[in-house]
């Protein structure tokens, strides 16, 4: 099978041609993974998404550092190609989705049946490949951790990115007043099309003044929940907009700068700071993940959620996919999609 293999830590935007020193290598004859147990399922991958964690992991900058070589990739969708003799939940041909610590940047992946989710009828199987990590992160953060309620004010930094779009949509489902922060008119117009109540265009206006003006016009006291996948200066500026008792969701640091939240101000204003490393729930809270994704898939089937796909690439152009992510060109998610010409067993 074809698989994208990380042989050296480095820049994933370099073409994966296997040259000496390149981080990624496109293997065209990688061994197809075999079933590991009686409850194993082999999935023919249809689509897999890029997350910022994948970008960091190939560079060796992520908190989890797998030994070399490894196949990157986390969330994916596809169809069941083979099942172990004790598998009861799935049959060959079923459309499924899931997430893995590694391995989805390949034409086949093996998972235990307990880790797979049946894709509801009517859902786009390609789009679902971008679903578990981004939407799962935002759902656990907003619903499980912050317990976002109708009438509260949610502010989303990086609102047009992969997790940002999912946070915006979930915020609207929960009945919150949503403020989105993005850069550029195209992203602003897209967020408005999602029903975002106020969008800040960082290319044209100063965030604090824009948000304060909106809050004053709506007679709102401040932001109740800050959803922050960006970090850096935006986090520091956002803290000035939080009300007493606000909650801060630390999702990631796309800016490359880890911010400091002053403990003295958090004390005085009774803020709650949530660190949200979604992947760790696989070990410490698997039931939370299962319940979360089941609810999300039901929302997707009911048309309450729409997965925005910004760019799609074949595996051989994975470097271009990483470049789109790195350069913040995406509005929504970036996908690697496999065609139907993948090998048959």
User: Which tens digits make up the pLDDT trace of 217-256?
Assistant: 999 999 999 999 999 999 999 999 999 999 999 999 988 8
Local confidence band at 67 (pLDDT 50, 70, 90 cut-offs): very high
Is there a common fold for 3-131+307-337 and 134-279?
Answer: no
Distance from C-alpha of 74 to C-alpha of 103, rounded to nearest angstrom: 7
- Structural contact between residues 168 and 148, judged by C-beta atoms closer than 8 angstroms: no
Q: Residue 8: is its pLDDT beyond 60?
A: yes
pLDDT one-digit tens code per residue, 139-170: 999 999 999 999 999 999 999 999 999 999 99
Q: Which residue has the tokens 């994975």?
A: 318
Mean pLDDT for all residues in the chain:
93
- Structural contact between residues 38 and 142, judged by C-beta atoms closer than 8 angstroms: no
Distance from C-alpha of 201 to C-alpha of 333, rounded to nearest angstrom: 20
Assigned CATH for 134-279: 3.40.50.720
For 207, other C-beta atoms within 10 Å of its C-beta total: 20
Q: Residue 334: is its pLDDT beyond 50?
A: yes
Residue 38 backbone dihedrals phi, psi, to 5 degrees? -70, -20
Distance from C-alpha of 246 to C-alpha of 251, rounded to nearest angstrom: 16
Find the mean pLDDT for residues 31-47. Answer: 97
β-pair type (242-250, 272-275): parallel
Distance from C-alpha of 12 to C-alpha of 24, rounded to nearest angstrom: 6
Find the mean pLDDT for residues 178-192. Answer: 96
- Structural contact between residues 90 and 39, judged by C-beta atoms closer than 8 angstroms: no
Local confidence band at 17 (pLDDT 50, 70, 90 cut-offs): low
Amino acid 88: pLDDT: 96
Radius of gyration of the chain (CA): 20
- Structural contact between residues 188 and 208, judged by C-beta atoms closer than 8 angstroms: no
Distance from C-alpha of 330 to C-alpha of 309, rounded to nearest angstrom: 8
Q: Which secondary-structure segment (H or E) carries 273? A: strand 272-275
Instruction: List the one residue out of 9, 28, 30, 32 whose CA is nearest residue 17.
Output: 28
Local confidence band at 35 (pLDDT 50, 70, 90 cut-offs): very high
The fold adopted by the segment(s) 3-131+307-337 is Quinone Oxidoreductase; Chain A, domain 1 (3.90.180)
Local confidence band at 344 (pLDDT 50, 70, 90 cut-offs): very low
Find the mean pLDDT for residues 173-194. Answer: 97
Q: Which residue ranges make up each domain of the chain?
A: 3-131+307-337, 134-279
Q: Residue 326: is its pLDDT beyond 70?
A: yes
Instruction: List the one residue out of 292, 301, 308, 307 whose CA is nearest residue 138.
Output: 292
pLDDT one-digit tens code per residue, 291-324: 999 999 999 999 999 999 999 999 999 999 999 9
Amino acid 14: pLDDT: 84
Task: Give the pTM.
Answer: 0.92
Residue 178 β-bridge partners: 154
Distance from C-alpha of 226 to C-alpha of 273, rounded to nearest angstrom: 10
């Amino acid at each position: 099978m074809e698989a994208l293999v990380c042989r050296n830590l480095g820049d994933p935007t370099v073409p994966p041609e296997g040259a000496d020193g390149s981080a990624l290598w496109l293997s065209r004859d990688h061994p197809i993974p075999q079933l590991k147990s009686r409850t194993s399922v082999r999935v023919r991958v249809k689509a897999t998404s890029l997350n910022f964690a994948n970008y960091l992991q190939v560079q060796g900058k992520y908190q989890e550092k797998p030994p070399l070589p490894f196949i990157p990739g986390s969330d994916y969708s596809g169809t069941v190609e083979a099942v172990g003799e004790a598998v009861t939940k799935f049959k060959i041909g079923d459309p499924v989705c899931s997430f893995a610590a590694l391995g989805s940047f390949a034409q086949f992946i093996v998972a235990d049946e307990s880790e797979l989710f049946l894709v509801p009828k009517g859902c786009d199987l390609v789009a679902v490949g971008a679903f578990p990590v981004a939407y799962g992160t935002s759902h656990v953060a907003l619903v499980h951790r912050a317990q976002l309620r109708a009438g509260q004010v949610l502010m989303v930094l990086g609102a047009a990115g992969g997790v940002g779009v999912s946070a915006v949509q979930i915020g609207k489902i929960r009945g919150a007043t949503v403020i989105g922060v993005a850069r550029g008119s195209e992203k602003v117009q897209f967020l408005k099309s999602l029903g975002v109540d106020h969008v800040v265009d960082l290319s044209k206006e100063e965030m604090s003044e824009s948000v304060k003006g909106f809050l004053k016009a709506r007679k709102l006291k401040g932001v109740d929940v800050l959803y922050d996948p960006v970090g850096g200066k935006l986090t520091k500026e956002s803290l000035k907009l939080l009300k007493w008792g606000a909650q801060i969701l630390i999702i990631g640091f796309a800016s490359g700068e880890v911010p400091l939240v002053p403990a003295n101000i958090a004390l005085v204003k009774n803020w709650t700071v949530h660190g949200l490393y979604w992947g760790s729930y696989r070990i410490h809270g698997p039931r939370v993940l299962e319940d979360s994704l089941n609810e999300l898939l039901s929302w997707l089937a009911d048309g309450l959620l729409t997965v925005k796909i910004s760019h799609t690439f074949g595996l051989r152009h994975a470097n271009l996919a990483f470049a789109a992510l790195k350069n913040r060109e995406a509005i929504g998610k970036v996908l690697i999609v496999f065609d139907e010409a993948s090998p048959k067993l």
